[in-house]
Amino acid sequence: MTEPKAPEWPLWEVFIRGQHGASHRHVGSLHAPDAEMAIKHARDVYTRRKEGVSIWVVPTTAIAASNPDMKGPLYDPSDSKPYRHPTFFDIPKEIGTM
Amino acid sequence: MTTELFEYLLRLGDNSLVLGHRLSEWCGKSPILEEDIAISNTALDFIGQTQLWLGLAATVEGQGRSADDLAMLRDVWDFRNLLLVEQPNGNFGETIMRQYLFDAWHVLLLDGLTRSHHQEISAIAQKVVKEVRYHIERSRDLVIRLGDGTPVSHEKMQIALDRLWPYVREMFDVDPVEHTLIEQGLIPDTSTLRAAFDAEVLKTFATATLTLPSSNFAHLGGKSGKRHSEHLGHLLTQMQWLQRAYPGATW
């Protein structure tokens, strides 16, 4: 007889902002019983080498994802439309890099 | 004064070394992966602190010994750590309780050491106190979660507190070594930190639904080196065997 396994802690997605002004980027996921502990765990798992200045955690179940089967209809139509890239515009020198 | 200062720096370094080693014993064996990483991080923080304190101790001693020599080539009777930190890990709750009791004292001590008249001591304390503020955030949180958790976790935490509380008083026991350094303004008087410590832990234990043991009995003799528990010797055989078996080995 094996004892019934305790339910696993919920999964959280972790986002780290590398430096002020930059946006938060997804870095991975981890288990934690609640948001507070998820942030603590994220600090220990993902920011040991000074990777970040800010942490977001989001319950994985709160993320809605696009359907991989819809890849064709969703993304293929933009294949033949290079004019949608802004590279065709001449940027005046005084503007500098954008 | 040099003798007392060396002695005191050994206490600081040995606390970090022994507790760091104890925590490293959890590596790969913690209840869950995330805690395993967190506890190993904490262990590494302590080993880093050890290098600073024992490094300064070696300089103060001036006998040509290094921090590594002090860590790996002294025997039980030369160690000056608190009895609390050499206690075995026990279950995860016991480890967390030991950590919390140490952290609650450690953060107050380091805060005092930042104001030391000794420049290096003050500089090390300023660097280390930041790590330690995070340590207590974590250990306090876990004591509350486990104490005020399930009936099983509550019972384990109460047993841990009952078992470890008698090791608290040694942290606040001021002996002649410390008296000398307090008078010179090199270290804070730990006995004056007791009120702040009690306020911290009483609040936490109330939230964690844990009861403070009523007995005032205390184990002493770790930091003076007079009476270590049998556990320290076993820990050192694990920690030091490589340098003992292959003297001078490096990698």
Residues 6+ apart with CB under 8 A from B81: B11, B14, B15, B17, B18, B19, B222, B223, B232
Tell me the pTM: 0.88
For chain B, what is the domain count? 1
The amino acid occupying position B4 is E
- Per the structure, the complete domain to which residue B87 belongs is given by 2-245
Percent of chain B with pLDDT over 90: 96
Q: Is the pLDDT of residue B77 over 90?
A: yes
Q: Is the pLDDT of residue A46 over 70?
A: yes
Q: Is the pLDDT of residue A87 over 80?
A: no
Tens of pLDDT, residues A47-80: 887 788 899 999 999 999 888 888 888 888 877 8
The mean predicted confidence, pLDDT, of chain A is 86
Lowest mean pLDDT among A21-35, A75-89, B65-79, B136-150: A75-89
Tell me the average pLDDT across B169-182: 95
Q: Is the pLDDT of residue B78 over 70?
A: yes
Tens of pLDDT, residues B29-50: 999 899 999 999 999 999 999 9
Q: Residue B172 maps to which CATH number?
A: 1.20.1260.10
Evaluate whether B80 touches B16 at the Cβ level (below 8 Å): no
Evaluate whether B115 touches B122 at the Cβ level (below 8 Å): yes
Residue A32: closest C-alpha in chain B: B34
Residues 6+ apart with CB under 8 A from A87: none
Give the pLDDT band of residue A92 (cuts 50, 70, 90).
Answer: confident
Q: Is the pLDDT of residue B175 over 90?
A: yes
Lowest mean pLDDT among A28-42, A74-88, B117-131: A74-88
Closest by Cα among B109, B97, B113, B134 to B22 = B97
Predicted pLDDT at B195: 97
Q: Is the pLDDT of residue B117 over 80?
A: yes
Give the pLDDT band of residue B91 (cuts 50, 70, 90).
Answer: very high
The mean predicted confidence, pLDDT, of chain B is 96
- Spatial distance between the Cα atoms of B48 and B42, rounded to a whole number of angstroms: 10
Predicted pLDDT at A51: 80
The amino acid occupying position B180 is T
Predicted pLDDT at A4: 65
Distance of residue A6 Cα from the nearest chain B Cα, in angstroms: 12
CATH 3.40.50.450 matches A11-95: no
Predicted pLDDT at B114: 97
Evaluate whether B169 touches B220 at the Cβ level (below 8 Å): yes
**What DSSP element (H or E) covers A28?**
strand A24-31
Predicted pLDDT at A98: 63
* Residue B226 burial (C-beta neighbours within 10 Å; 0-12, 13-18, 19+): exposed
B141 neighbourhood in chain A, CB within 8 Å:
36-37, 40
Tens of pLDDT, residues B233-248: 999 999 999 999 999 8
Residue A48: closest C-alpha in chain B: B41
CB contact (8 A) between residue A41 and residue B37? yes
Residue B251 is assigned to a structural domain of this protein: no
- Spatial distance between the Cα atoms of B114 and B128, rounded to a whole number of angstroms: 9
CB contact (8 A) between residue A41 and residue B41? no
- Spatial distance between the Cα atoms of B176 and B99, rounded to a whole number of angstroms: 27
Q: Using beta carbons and an 8 Å cutoff, which residues of A are at the interface with B? A: 9, 30-33, 36-37, 40-41, 43-45, 48
